[in-house]
Structure 1
């Protein structure tokens, strides 16, 4: 026991968070894999849709989380207190509004995505405000470099979702979609722990100054724009496949997407560390590019390894993770992993630029996100075609991000040289 305590003391908070993030990603993967094995390809299509909606929600929640992270670094004293209350208010109001919309249009969503019932959307809708409040909590921990609490809230959400969902599926005789939606919704309650609401006044009358409020809204708008492109790029393929293909094909594709996205989920872990570091270095007047290079190297190396493994052992991976019923999708595994890898690397560039308040990469990502949707809508005769369209879009996106970085660096260097001469 003393050896374990000594080892834990030697682990830095950042290292602890990275270990925790790997565990959370592993738990989320196990959750999806068990659903796929338990339900089979047809029923898994509805489950995968709910998981996709959860990912969409997480991207929207990241707007609140990243905004809170940034200004937890920049603001202090009373300005920080006022900002904190403001973010909780925004999160709650937006969450209630979004939840009401999903409730109203639940039957339309059922028709659009060919699901067994609309009740799963209604259950999901009720819990949406909790998720956004939880996102503000996480932003506070992330901005304050309190990585132990940040890790804790991801752990409580993941484990509760995993345990509760399968307990419900095994014990209750209701449709899987309803039970999975219930498990996901309850996990948002557990994800609020640990929390620190001491001193939080959601409806406080104190307001930020005009200058600070403008700065906040610019960053929220910029982040929301980028997160929208994340939603489009990362989830549109599953939603479109669910719309254009039958349940079996959609279920097969969902299993492919789940395995191929392992790179993205690991990249997310590095983004959590990248943003506060870049913001702090910019605030201190230190160079930020070395941080970017370090994380691009990590993700690039990991991506190349995963694509190679998927190319060499597709049948083994599919069989181990989902079973023989999903083997027909094996030839596409390395191609989907390649598309996701390209997106993961370009994503590191995008969040780096976002930390520095650069607008152009958001616009680039948006254009490429919509082009991906357009390509899939035009060319979807087979699942292989859908994957090919994503590879094309992601290659263009990464090249565009690299060109922007090179041009921006040259421009900044030129300005610095001119200033030094004068």
Structure 2
């Protein structure tokens, strides 16, 4: 995609993708909450009624979100130096269908139907990529990429509906205890806000502060660096319901934790070594010679992503143990990152340095939290 668009237009597309991520914060939080409640249901009737309740509430929220983004689209477009507000509105379309698919995906995840969950993720993301590239190749530029993203989200939703036939479909709602869901949703939502902010705020600020070419170079660096996170993050997604289920049954979860943590470290380290040894080959192979300025940025961004990925793993582990206060750490880190980049953005390396320092401190703080917590329990 970056090779077809060139740095300037690719920077614009990356900023729009970051907006998709920010609007998808609720999706991340709801996925975790729904998985928790679905995995705790007793029988088909309770599960189907609960699915109906979540679906109805998310439908109302997604429509309200769409209207809000449409109203704010001129302001958002101006901040990001995007000439066409319709591109911002297309972000809202993607967000709506991403919200609708989250219930179906979370139902499957809560029932440990990992094959179907992975199939939805791969199909949805694959279609977004393929269709986006096709439309850009046909000359539709950034608008074509966003159209591909929207179609992929819609088709992903349709696929998810086909997978949950027989697992949902109640005409009556069964609502969970309001207080318990709020008590759990709030910290999970704050965690989603913080985590999404940590890998999106930098891109948005770079698009605002830097010229289009530099924003495109940074966007390419960011996308490559996130290979570490998206390559390793499925490990924690699989770990969460397994640890939660064992905790409920009073069984040991130590082996699951250590196996998952070591797998995450291994994946992150392998990708980081590739960035260290052959950054030029990675960049030219995926983006072309126009992005070679990213060579000097890739390793630093990769280190930021390693700390970030391990931090997210520990946060998800803490949430699976019902340690909801753990969300304070990423929340403070996201605020620190935003403030740091706002005041310290002399060049692209400065932006990466701020993110690396913040994510490194976050990881160390989380390690201390678990170590000290274990000592106090013993």
User: How far off is 1:111 after superposition?
Assistant: 0.1
TM-score using structure 1 length = 0.84
User: How far off is 1:201 after superposition?
Assistant: 5.2
User: How far off is 1:95 after superposition?
Assistant: 1.0
User: How far off is 1:356 after superposition?
Assistant: 1.6
User: How far off is 1:137 after superposition?
Assistant: 0.6
Is the CA contact (8 Å cut-off) linking 2:136 and 2:142 kept in structure 1?
no
Return closer, same or farther for 1:310/1:156 CA change in 2, 3 Å cut-off. closer
Partner of 2:13: 47
Is the CA contact (8 Å cut-off) linking 1:253 and 1:383 kept in structure 2?
yes
Return closer, same or farther for 1:305/1:170 CA change in 2, 3 Å cut-off. closer
User: How far off is 1:90 after superposition?
Assistant: 2.1
- Between stretches 102-111 and 143-152, larger displacement belongs to 143-152
Partner of 1:363: 328
Task: Measure the CA separation in 2 of the matches of 1:66 and 1:357.
Answer: 12
Partner of 1:133: 100
Partner of 2:74: 107
Return closer, same or farther for 1:92/1:201 CA change in 2, 3 Å cut-off. farther
Partner of 1:151: 118
- Asked if 1:407 corresponds to 2:372, the answer is yes
Residues paired across the two proteins, number:
373
User: How far off is 1:289 after superposition?
Assistant: 3.2
Return closer, same or farther for 1:407/1:207 CA change in 2, 3 Å cut-off. same
User: How far off is 1:164 after superposition?
Assistant: 2.2
Partner of 2:294: 329
Is the CA contact (8 Å cut-off) linking 2:77 and 2:84 kept in structure 1?
yes
- Asked if 1:310 corresponds to 2:275, the answer is yes
- Asked if 1:60 corresponds to 2:26, the answer is yes
Is the CA contact (8 Å cut-off) linking 2:188 and 2:324 kept in structure 1?
no
Task: Measure the CA separation in 1 of the matches of 2:367 and 2:373.
Answer: 10
Partner of 1:120: 87
1:69-100 alpha-carbon deviations (Å, 9 max, x no partner) = 11111122343333212211221122111111
Partner of 2:342: 377
- Asked if 1:97 corresponds to 2:64, the answer is yes
Is the CA contact (8 Å cut-off) linking 2:315 and 2:327 kept in structure 1?
yes
Partner of 2:363: 398
Task: Measure the CA separation in 1 of the matches of 2:297 and 2:137.
Answer: 32
Greater relative contact order: 1 or 2 (C-alpha under 8 angstroms, separation 6 or more)? 2
User: How far off is 1:274 after superposition?
Assistant: 0.9
- Between stretches 238-247 and 178-187, larger displacement belongs to 178-187
Q: Give unmatched runs, 5+ long, in structure 2.
A: none
TM-score using structure 2 length = 0.94
1:145-197 alpha-carbon deviations (Å, 9 max, x no partner) = 112211221132123212322332233x54x2222221111111110203235
Partner of 1:21: none
Task: Measure the CA separation in 1 of the matches of 2:329 and 2:156.
Answer: 33
- Between stretches 298-307 and 238-247, larger displacement belongs to 298-307
Partner of 1:20: none
Q: Give unmatched runs, 5+ long, in structure 1.
A: 1-34, 414-422
Task: Measure the CA separation in 2 of the matches of 1:72 and 1:217.
Answer: 16
Task: Measure the CA separation in 1 of the matches of 2:127 and 2:201.
Answer: 27
Partner of 1:208: 175
Partner of 1:17: none
Task: Measure the CA separation in 1 of the matches of 2:8 and 2:18.
Answer: 16
Return closer, same or farther for 1:260/1:401 CA change in 2, 3 Å cut-off. same
Is the CA contact (8 Å cut-off) linking 1:350 and 1:361 kept in structure 2?
yes
- Asked if 1:343 corresponds to 2:308, the answer is yes
Among candidates 36, 41, 44, match of residue 70 of structure 1: 36
Partner of 1:11: none
Task: Measure the CA separation in 2 of the matches of 1:197 and 1:91.
Answer: 19
